[in-house]
């Protein structure tokens, strides 16, 4: 999830079912553009860097870039890459503020990468004739009173104009809040439970951003509605359908849909949330949160291995037929975004066009991209620590180091513009 993010409800897992948790919580991220990269405000980190750990040989440049990222302020990083050199995994930094090694097979909150899973299920329902992309959403979900011009395709492309229930940023840097996801309000509410109806109600209490289909604005509300659409046409929760159609067939044993469960299965690194409330910097361990506020917009927990399996299967045609995959990867006319996929043109020396998604929840930032032919794939998780990214100097160092990791991973030779401009979504 990115600008501000997503939520979920039923504890569903593949091979590992989390225990019940009666409390709920939320999670949010503000979107901020620094140096061509959108970085969540909650990607606040700050630790001394650690030596990069890896499986496989070589990749010294990538190891050094990862170590430099932790030296710049990121607490921990784990990365998986597949390219002409083969498969490689590595990690750097620390597992938590007190130390410890970051596992290369650790679980993490993937945030808005969840949207790619949900969109895949919606498109499978299109294939089965149960959903029509250009049909009004109100035909399926009349109880919400949606603008009848909003279609299913507009939801998946963020062209609906629906207010983002996690908050909307304005050009002047101010944020119109949604649910409490920032500062002490987030800390006080991080174990609160939300239902999809509550989240949609927050959105509908605000004016639409624009007339449907006339512009683009990233809104987590779109994918909460998509989750409710799946429930309506199948008679079962979106979590069940994602597990049955994607997680189980692909054998994604490290992937969990936690619902209201606040935990994170081992092994995992800790993510921290930092904020100022008129005083010194406050650092909160945000590893345990109730992710129900993210629901079908960003609740999934996974691993780099499972994300690599998923995006490879998606690009390889295992999950969708060619015509629907083509529609999924076709860009909106307003932004480089398809149907639940971010589109990145990295340039001729950096592999050309990639598709995938980024995601962020308090303390966690994730990346998943592939080339259409699957020849280059990258998955990465970052965890934040105790630095303040509102400090321009810290933010600049982190952005430069993050870009260097991505350039080292993607590029055969350094491009003229050393900023890839990867779109980060909450």
Q: How far is CA 218 from CA 1, 177, 181, 307, 401, in A?
A: 9, 15, 17, 22, 26
Q: Which of 266, 269, 249 is nearest to 380 (CA)?
A: 269
Query: Are 27 and 293 spatial neighbours (Cβ–Cβ below 8 Å)?
Result: yes
Instruction: Please count the other Cβ atoms lying within 10 Å of the Cβ belonging to residue 147.
Output: 15
- The verdict on whether 312 is a catalytic residue reads no
Q: Which of 112, 193, 296, 302 is catalytic?
A: 112
Q: What is the DSSP string of 151-186?
A: BHHHHHHT-S----TT-EE-TTS-EE--SS-SHHHH
Distance (Å, whole) CA 373 – CA 317: 11
Apex 344 CA angle, 338 and 349, nearest 5: 150
Reading the block at residue 176, the tokens are 């119109």
Contacts of 103 (CB under 8 A, 6+ apart): 78, 91, 95, 267, 268, 269
3-class secondary-structure state, position 352: coil
Distance (Å, whole) CA 256 – CA 416: 40
DSSP state of 279: S
Apex 353 CA angle, 305 and 88, nearest 5: 30
10 Å CB burial of residue 60 (0-12, 13-18, 19+) is exposed
Instruction: Please count the other Cβ atoms lying within 10 Å of the Cβ belonging to residue 414.
Output: 12
Q: Which residues are known to be catalytic?
A: 112
């Amino acid at each position: 999830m990115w600008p501000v993010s997503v939520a979920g409800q039923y504890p569903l897992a593949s091979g590992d079912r989390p225990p019940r948790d009666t409390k709920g919580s939320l999670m949010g991220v503000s979107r901020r553009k620094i140096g061509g990269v959108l970085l969540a405000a909650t990607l606040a980190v700050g630790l001394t860097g650690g030596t990069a750990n890896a499986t496989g040989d070589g990749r010294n440049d990538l190891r050094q870039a990862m170590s430099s990222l932790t030296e710049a302020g990121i607490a921990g990083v784990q990365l998986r890459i597949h390219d002409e050199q083969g498969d490689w995994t590595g990690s750097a930094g620390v597992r938590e503020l007190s130390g410890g090694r970051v596992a290369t097979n650790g679980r993490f909150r993937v945030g808005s990468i969840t949207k790619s899973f949900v969109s895949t299920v919606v498109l499978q329902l299109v294939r089965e004739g149960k959903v029509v992309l250009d049909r009004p959403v109100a035909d399926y979900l009349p109880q919400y009173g949606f603008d009848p011009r909003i279609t299913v395709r507009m939801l998946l492309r963020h062209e609906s104009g629906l207010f983002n229930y996690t908050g909307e940023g304005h050009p002047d840097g101010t944020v119109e809040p949604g649910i409490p996801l920032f500062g002490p309000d987030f800390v006080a509410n991080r174990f609160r439970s939300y239902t999809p109806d509550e989240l949609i109600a927050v959105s509908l209490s605000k004016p639409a951003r624009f007339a449907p289909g006339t512009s683009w604005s990233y809104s987590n509300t779109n994918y909460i509605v998509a989750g409710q659409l799946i429930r309506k046409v199948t008679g079962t929760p979106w979590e069940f359908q994602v597990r049955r159609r994607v997680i189980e067939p692909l054998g994604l044993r490290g992937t969990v849909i936690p619902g209201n469960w606040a935990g994170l299965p081992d092994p995992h690194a800790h993510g921290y949330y930092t904020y100022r409330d008129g005083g010194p910097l406050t650092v909160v361990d945000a590893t345990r949160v109730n992710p129900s506020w993210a629901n079908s917009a960003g609740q999934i927990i996974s691993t780099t291995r499972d994300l690599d399996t998923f995006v490879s299967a998606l690009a390889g045609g295992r999950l969708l037929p060619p015509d629907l995959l083509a529609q999924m990867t076709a860009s909106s006319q307003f932004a480089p975004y398809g149907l639940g996929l971010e589109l990145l043109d990295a340039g001729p020396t950096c592999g050309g066009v990639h598709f995938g998604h980024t995601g962020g929840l308090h303390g966690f930032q994730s990346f998943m991209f592939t080339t259409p032919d699957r020849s280059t794939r990258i998955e990465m998780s970052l965890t934040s620590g105790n630095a303040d990214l509102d400090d321009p100097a810290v933010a600049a160092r982190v952005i430069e180091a993050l870009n260097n990791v991505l350039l080292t991973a993607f590029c055969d030779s350094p491009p003229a513009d050393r900023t890839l401009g990867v779109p980060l979504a909450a």
